[in-house]
Amino acid sequence: MRALLVSYSFPPVGGAGVQRVLKLTKYLPRYGVEPRVLTVANPSVPVLDPTLERDFPPGLVVLRARTFEPGYAVKQAAWTATFAARASAWTRAKRAVVGRLSGLAKQLLVPDPQILWQPAAQARALAELSGPDRPDVVLVSGPPFSQFLLAALVRARRRDVGVVLDYRDEWSTYRSTYEMMGSRLGALIGDPLEAALLRRAHEVTTATEEFRENLLRRFTFLSPSRVHAVPNGYDLDDFPADLPGPPADAFVVSYAGTVFKLTSARGFLGAVRKLHEREPSLAKLLRVSFMGRIVETERDAFDGMDALGVEQAGYLEHGAVVRALSASHMVLCILDDVPGVERIYPAKIFEQMVLGRPVLTLSPPGALTRLVEAHRLGDVLPPRDEEAICALLASRLRAFRDGALSPPPAPVGIERYARPALAGEFAAVMRSALERARGGA
């Protein structure tokens, strides 16, 4: 079976969002599926990680189509236009103009700015559907969700080709919570557009069971039998045998991922400040590393934190992140208290569970906390409870200082999240989509 996987987020683009489709290309051939990938040629993204291309299987065909989006630096200038505390009148005026233009673009580019990739992407997809090696199945993985428009193209051009729409995140949450969202037009037409495109899918996959249940609740025309929860996971190949252990001279806590509204670290950073105020000699043993991008709206929370042992390491290539997490006594997983968070868990949690380091999960009750508790990954606290976080850090630091730090219990029941097994689940969904297409569904 030939499968065309469509994903704007694909190496050399970096970040956790690329892993789902990347690992599918690696492991789908085990299940008799020959993958090809359609992605963007000139991605307008904040981070690149060419080392991820090492996972490409031999002979993988990657089709790249250009987008009309401006470069990421232009986007960044627009988003940060309102966050300069001190600037000249001329600079403020320029930023105001950029901000207004950015606001206009945000209102017009629906459902997301990557709609500017669709002209070239649809042309390339049409060529694939018309060629001698046309796919049997097309899987489109979002966000960005403008890619889902390809479902309509596939159904119009080839009624015998199966269509799978894959939700790495929720479209509705993405519109309201994630960076750079907020279009009034998008809010108005978002649900009708999503419904129209879901009607053109033979099968749908979601990253959590909670996503699945919410989708079925919102769109009652969907049959539960064709909506499947297939989680993210881990690849044991990403964990070499020579990974380092934690140091003996400092208690290291590490966070990997973007820090933004959904993953705000304000509660944790406030707890670190309290710890330094109350027990400065104990707090000196603490070293914290944030690996990943920190968006402009969250930067002020880190003011002065470098003096308290909090490092902003920036984006690191994937292998370096794994090594840094391995060299930690504790790893952080954060979801702030925002709408829809109860249905989400960050993809990094799966790599953290394989490493076996205690996970300090700061999250409201929901999918993430249930996952952590079910597999015994570590402690769970509310994300803004500075007192409780401070107390837990102090307890761990005292045990570390006194040589009484207990080894963490091994996680249980995590085999379900191995990437090869998950690829098998996707292969089954693709075959079902093909059967539905050829049966006239």
Edge-first strand listing for the sheet containing 251-256? 310-314, 286-291, 251-256, 330-334, 359-362, 380-381
Task: Render pLDDT for 12-34 as a digit per residue (tens, 0 to 9).
Answer: 999 888 999 999 999 999 999 99
Kindly tell me if the per-residue pLDDT of 189 is higher than 90.
no
- 2-75+109-233+419-438 shares its CATH topology with 237-401: yes
pTM of the model: 0.90
Cα–Cα distance between 155 and 153 in angstroms, integer?
6
Annotation: CATH topology of 2-75+109-233+419-438: Rossmann fold (3.40.50)
Residue ranges of the domains in the chain?
Answer: 2-75+109-233+419-438, 237-401
CA distances from 427 to 1, 90, 177, 362 (A): 9, 57, 31, 34
> What is the mean pLDDT of the segment spanning 337-361?
94
- Looking at residue 99, its pLDDT comes to 46
- Looking at residue 185, its pLDDT comes to 64
109 pLDDT band (50/70/90 cuts)? confident
187 pLDDT band (50/70/90 cuts)? low
Task: Render pLDDT for 82-99 as a digit per residue (tens, 0 to 9).
Answer: 444 445 555 555 454 444
- Single-letter code of the amino acid located at 56: F
Cα–Cα distance between 360 and 378 in angstroms, integer?
6
* Strand-pair partners of 40: 65
Kindly tell me if the per-residue pLDDT of 81 is higher than 60.
no
Span 237-401: which CATH code? 3.40.50.2000
